[in-house]
């Protein structure tokens, strides 16, 4: 099994594990392993103007949806979650790809373990 296949299997597994949360949460959510291995719920795809969760998951540069000035705070929060196992919250402005509108959000990011790997779960509320 290649690393790509392994990562795809991990994403499939965490998607199944988190299915009730992704489907029922009122928040926009994405779960991230790396730029090519991630999943989101419909609310997150809608927030950013994507046609589907799969369309967003197929993008290779997820930080492109974040206003440039806020990208470093997202990176810092990700590093804290993925390396130090520390959850945090930060304000993040994201861009809707359809309208170009900037949406102010509060992002909560937390580490999530699955099959011996650390994912990060990102929860968004409009502010």
Helix (H, G, I), strand (E, B), or coil: what is residue 92? strand
Instruction: Give the domain ranges of the chain.
Output: 3-126
Distance CA 80, CA 122 (A): 13
Topology of the domain comprising 3-126: Beta-Lactamase (3.30.450)
What is the CA angle 83-36-127, rounded to 5? 70
**Residue 60: its pLDDT value, please?**
87
Nearest to 82 by CA among 53, 122, 54: 122
**Residue 19: its pLDDT value, please?**
96
Q: pLDDT 10s digit of each residue in the chain, 127 long?
A: 898 899 999 999 999 999 999 999 999 999 999 999 999 999 999 999 999 999 999 998 889 999 999 999 999 999 999 999 999 999 999 999 999 999 999 999 999 999 999 999 999 999 9
Bridge pairing between strands 88-95 and 37-40: unpaired
**Residue 61: its pLDDT value, please?**
85
CA distances from 102 to 46, 66, 121 (A): 13, 9, 22
**Residue 107: its pLDDT value, please?**
98
Two tokens at 126?
């409009």
């Amino acid at each position: 099994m290649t690393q790509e296949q392994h990562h795809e299997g991990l994403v499939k597994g965490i998607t199944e594990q988190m299915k009730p949360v992704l489907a029922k949460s009122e928040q926009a959510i994405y779960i991230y392993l790396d730029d090519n291995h991630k999943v989101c719920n419909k609310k997150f795809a809608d927030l950013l103007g994507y046609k589907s969760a799969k369309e967003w998951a197929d993008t290779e540069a997820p930080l492109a949806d974040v206003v440039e000035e806020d990208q470093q705070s997202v990176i810092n929060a990700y590093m804290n979650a993925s390396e130090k196992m520390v959850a945090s919250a930060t304000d993040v402005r994201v861009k809707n790809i359809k309208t170009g509108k900037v949406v102010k959000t509060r992002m909560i990011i937390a580490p999530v373990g699955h099959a011996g790997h650390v994912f990060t779960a990102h929860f968004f509320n409009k502010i």
